[in-house]
Amino acid sequence: MMKRLEKISVTELAAESIEDTRKDLIEWQQEQLFAGKNSRNRDIKPPYTRRTKRIKRAKGQPDDRVTLRDKHDFYDAIFVDIRAVTFVISSADWKTPKLIDKYGKSIFGLGGVFKIGYVNDLRPAMVNNLRKKLL
């Protein structure tokens, strides 16, 4: 058993587990954005303008925080790109570069309770994948 354990790549184990929980990671990212938080668990800044707040209210959408959600295009295009030793969360929506310019790169990535929530989803997948490799 020890020899099998020594052969296991933690990086590969993590990548497989993130792949298995990709949908959860995207959902946590969407929830964090809708809560108006960035990866540092701070409010997304700058706040909406008065004009945008009026438009949000007229649509029945929250105007007390920046959610980056209007027609769901940005949210629906969020993806996870798993790489050799890391992963990237982004959105394929055409507005992504503009949103990053305005609100910063920290709109992507998890922080605070959202990170804790995802880790709680990821942990069982990692344990399951480790068990498979040890059998």
- pLDDT tens, position by position, 69-122: 999 999 999 999 999 888 999 999 999 999 999 999 999 999 999 999 999 999
The predicted structure's pLDDT at residue 28: 98
CA torsion, ordered 124, 127, 131, 133, to nearest 10 deg: 110
Residue pair 39/89 in contact (Cβ under 8 Å)? The answer is no
> Does the pTM exceed 0.75?
yes
Give the Cα separation of 99 and 83 in Å (integer). 24
The CA-CA-CA angle for residues 31, 35, 39, to 5°, reads 75
Q: Whole-number mean pLDDT of the chain?
A: 94
Question: Looking at the predicted structure, is the pLDDT value of residue 29 above 70?
Answer: yes
pLDDT of res. 1? 61
**Residue showing tokens 């890391």:** 86
The pLDDT value recorded for residue 133 is 86
